[in-house]
A and B are shown apart, each in its own frame.
Chain A
Amino acid sequence: MQGKDLSSQVRAQRHRWRLVSFCLFLALVLVVILALSVGAVKLSLGDVLGVFANKLFGSKAPPETARIIVWQLRLPRILMAAAVGAALSSSGVALQGLFRNSLVDPYILGLSSGAALGAALGFSLKLSGFIPLFAFLGALLATSIAYLLAQEHGRVPPMRLLLSGVATSAFLSALVSMLMLRSQQSMQTIFLWLMGSFSGRSWPELVLVFPYMLVGLLLIFFHLRELNLLLLGEEAAGQLGMEVERAKRFLLLGATLAAAASVAGSGTIGFVGLVVPHLVRLVTGSDHRLLFPLSFLVGALFMVLADTLARTIMAPVELPVGIITSLIGAPFFLYLLKRGGRRWQ
């Protein structure tokens, strides 16, 4: 009866989502270009595009200041913001799916407090240059501890993992507080770092964290089908042919790598990893093949906007971007929840 109808309807729907993704991508490019032009020194769009034209096609050289501002100062920072936004959101998608709980964020397994502890250690050892590395290792270590503690008969039940994550997190946070008290001086530095910022990020940092993000995101990308099956519960997913524990390990590893690299790159920026997947799900539904790419794009877009605001609204003073993400994100999120923007309503 409605058979032909329905599959064409579904195909049309899929086409529509592809279009939406494409538009989001265009919007991202547009926002990046705009972000390149605004700031302490205002550049014209022509200048910005001129820098790119020169870099890509070797056309007429732009003014040197414009070249430095765009290429050396703003572009790496903006790309870092986009990458971190995408990585945190994707990590949130994976973990929310894994735990079948949309209140989970990438930091739930002690990742942020592990990173903070690493960073605090770095600061107190006066190894400021190695902060990202310390943070990265701290994040990985914390999640590994939570994972190992949750293991039981070769399985990791989600509830146990959540609880051991919360416990690990609390313990490591206490250690961070102790370190902060010991040296009043580094306290403010650590505090600022914890709020997250893209200030002063340049190419080397980006190159350092990008590969880990990429590996993490790919791991998640390869397990989107499994995330869909997990919606039915772990046992049902196994009965549908899925190797549940193995897929969970890969997903957890991917989500952790992506989030740990983000934290290493920019500190612990809150809210994005929780809200973006949630928000996108309100529109797309639970199909992770849609949820993942759209969260990736929305996360990047959101973070670039937030960072641009962070460095412009009180210029020349910069706000920590974490403040902006929460300040804008939370009310918007509540508005969406109230409106109940589900695709079927």
Chain B
Amino acid sequence: MAVVFDISGLTFTYDKTPILEDLKLEIEEGMFVGIIGPNGAGKSTLLRLLSKALSPQRGAILLEKTPLNKWSRGELARHLAVMGQERPQDLELTALEVVMLGRAPHQGRFGGETPQDYRVVEEAMVLTHCWDLALRPFSQLSGGEQQRVMLARALAQEPEVLLLDEPTAHLDLNYQLELLSQVQTLVLQKEITTIAVLHDLNLAASFCDKLVLLSRRGVLAAGLAGDVLTTDLIREAYGIGVQVSTNPLTGRPQITPLPQGKRQDRFRVHIIGGGGAAANLYYPLLEAGFTLSTGVLNQGDTDWQVAKDLGIELVEIPAFSPIPEEAHQANLALIGQARAVVLADVPFGPGNLGNLKAASTIGPGQDLLLLRGMPLSQRDFTGGVATQLYTELLARGEIVEETDLVGRLIELDKTGS
């Protein structure tokens, strides 16, 4: 595939502070490329260098094999359009007039607007769904509408390359999605190569074909979303731990930040889950500082998926299989190490009855917390065996509301130590 931008050795220093150092990057034709990275990584700077708004101290930027500084401003404006972060204020123009400014690179000094100009402007405004705003004053439009008009203005340049600097900044979620899907459509229908600086990693992952992860040292990774958005790379760029899972709808990576900073070290808690009953217990407990283990979980179970994604120590068995002795023992071992055991609101059948039995192995000095949930009679599929066991457990543990769980465990942690 043809290369639109070929960047090598790019170095830009602002007031003696290096922003970009020896950056190398290729942008392929017809791609929607997202540039991501922490604040100060030079994302906007890179974009401004690509649009010739800034010039680099060293390095080469080739646009269509021609060095960028060989392009005249006029030629460049007919080839490449930019939607910057700056939104014009105090502008007494209609939306139509703003979009018409995008025709400037195609117009002579004095010639007025031609029918062709009107055609292009209309097409651009229809594509970005702002044609019905044409005669409204730009300054009276909402943020989302203004952003659509600015996108239309960029399109009116009839560019082959489109640069967007945080196009979704200050927009509500619905407008963010709308704008990015419009851009996606443009890339597909009009084959406009698009490079967008994006803040939201999940939006970038779901809309862009390729991602470029910048950090203070330059390009940390570039490629498909799955290759760029990994736990390790994100930790390196942003210095935070995240959970990377797969968005079940798009199949693209999905990122959830994990508890940050130095948390308190609390005791070990073992959670007996299954059937999705424990899925939303893990994260709050991790965040509160507890070390977790869980089991026995069937692969493919929601609890299993979440525990996996969060990197919790667990005992797993194949889907739909009953608990084999080996797994049961492993579970007992984990329970033995824990200071407290939490029994989630799990439905019990013959397959996972072992988990209930395991709970009863707790010894003195260990606390058992039973989450209040559906009455056991409604989740006992063992003909009464589970109810029997549960009644015994009730005598040795205490019942806790899900909302009180974290608080109760913290209390236990404090009194214990």
Residues on A facing B (Cβ under 8 Å):
1-3, 6-7, 9-10, 14, 100, 102, 222, 225, 228-229, 231-233, 235-236, 238-243, 281, 285-287, 342, 344
Contact = CB atoms under 8 A, between A and B. Distances in A.
Contact of B109 (A102, A225, A240): A225
Contacts of A342: 92, 137
A117 B101 CA distance: 42
Contact of B105 (A241, A243, A285): A241
Chain B residues touching A, range: 35 or more
Contacts of B91: 231, 286
Interface in B3-56: 48, 51-53
Contact of B93 (A3, A100, A233, A286): A286
B73 A344 contact: no
Nearest to A239: B82
A240 B118 contact: no
B88 to A, nearest CB: 5
Given A3-B118, A9-B135, A229-B104, 10 more contacts: A2-B131, A3-B122, A228-B101, A239-B53, A240-B101, A241-B78, A241-B105, A242-B73, A285-B92, A287-B97
A241 B90 contact: no
B296 interface: no
A10 B157 contact: no
A21 to B, nearest CB: 15
Contacts of B122: 3, 6
B153 to A, nearest CB: 8
Contacts of A233: 84, 86, 88
Contacts of A235: 48, 53, 84, 86
B104 A242 contact: yes
A241 B77 contact: yes
B81 interface: yes
Contacts of B48: 235
23 contacts: A3-B118, A3-B119, A3-B122, A6-B118, A6-B122, A6-B134, A225-B107, A229-B101, A232-B88, A232-B98, A233-B86, A235-B48, A236-B82, A238-B53, A239-B76, A239-B77, A239-B82, A240-B105, A240-B157, A241-B74, A241-B76, A242-B73, A342-B137
B87 to A, nearest CB: 9
B86 A287 contact: no
B102 interface: yes
A231 B77 CA distance: 17
Nearest to A243: B73
Nearest to A282: B92
Nearest 4 Cβ contacts at the A-B interface? A241-B77, A241-B105, A241-B74, A285-B92
B69 to A, nearest CB: 14
Contacts of A7: 115, 118
B130 interface: no
A241 B134 contact: no
A109 B104 CA distance: 30
A322 to B, nearest CB: 28
Nearest to A241: B77
Contacts of B135: 6, 9
A242 B105 CA distance: 8
Contacts of A1: 131
A158 to B, nearest CB: 14
Nearest to B115: A7
A14 B88 CA distance: 24
B90 A102 contact: yes
B359 interface: no
A43 B113 CA distance: 48
Interface string B180-223: 00000000000000000000000000000000000000000000
B406 interface: no
Contacts of B101: 228-229, 231-232, 240
B96 interface: yes
Interface string B361-401: 00000000000000000000000000000000000000000
A12 to B, nearest CB: 12
Contacts of A236: 82, 84, 86, 88
Contacts of B88: 231-233, 236
Nearest to B102: A240
Given A233-B86, A240-B105, A242-B73, A287 B93 contact: yes
Contacts of B73: 238, 241-243
Interface in B106-136: 107, 109, 112-113, 115, 118-119, 122, 131, 134-136
Nearest to A233: B86
A103 to B, nearest CB: 11
Nearest to A242: B73
Contacts of A225: 104, 107, 109
A342 B93 CA distance: 11
Interface centre among B73, B80, B84, B96, by most A CB within 10 Å?
Answer: B73
A7 to B, nearest CB: 5
Contacts of A3: 118-119, 122
Interface centre among A14, A228, A233, A236, by most B CB within 10 Å?
Answer: A236
B385 to A, nearest CB: 71
A3 B136 CA distance: 15
Nearest to B48: A235
Nearest to A223: B109
A102 B73 CA distance: 28
Nearest to A244: B73
Contacts of B119: 3
A231 B86 contact: no
A225 B98 CA distance: 13
A242 B122 CA distance: 23
A320 B310 CA distance: 82
A281 B118 CA distance: 24
Given A239-B51, A240-B101, A231 B137 contact: no
A295 to B, nearest CB: 14
Contacts of A232: 86, 88, 98, 101
Interface in B123-181: 131, 134-137, 157
B147 to A, nearest CB: 14
A231 B94 CA distance: 13
A286 B105 contact: no
